[in-house]
Amino acid sequence: MVKTENNTDQLLTQIIKGIEDVKGNDIQILDLRKIENTVCDYFVICNGNSNTQVNAIVNSVQKGVSKSLKDKPWHVEGTENAEWVLIDYVNVVVHVFQKHIREFYDIEGLWGDAKTTTIPTNY
């Protein structure tokens, strides 16, 4: 299946919904399309308060995307200690952190040239 802009929008929507369903915090979308030599089009970054919540976010995202879009991640990494879990959907990569690990690695700072969209949460 060829990934189109519409497919990417639907994927982003489902990823955000999966994060919100289990109250993931500080959700940001980094648009990397105008930056040269990037590995994907978007990063979605969020954090949970514990390894249990990080794993719940990862499971929620994967279930929601699988159910609504019939899509599976190409690769998932980091579920063993659940401090930083990466879910790779090829053109969208999801980073789910525990807060202190997110602050330490500061991906948003590393990709400072990216257009950033913050998703407000009401919980």
CATH topology for 5-119 is Beta Polymerase; domain 2 (3.30.460)
Q: Please give the share of the chain, as a percent, with pLDDT higher than 90.
A: 90
- Report the pLDDT averaged over residues 12-17: 98
Per-residue pLDDT tens digits for 38-89:
999 999 999 999 999 999 999 999 999 999 999 999 999 999 999 999 999 9
Report the mean per-residue pLDDT for the chain: 94
Question: Which 3-state string (H, E, C) describes 52-94?
Answer: HHHHHHHHHHHHHHHHHHCCCCCEEECCCCCCEEEEECCCEEE
Whole-structure pTM value? 0.94
Q: Which CA distances in Å does 113 have to 8, 35, 84?
A: 21, 7, 22
Q: For the chain, which residues make up each domain, given as ranges?
A: 5-119
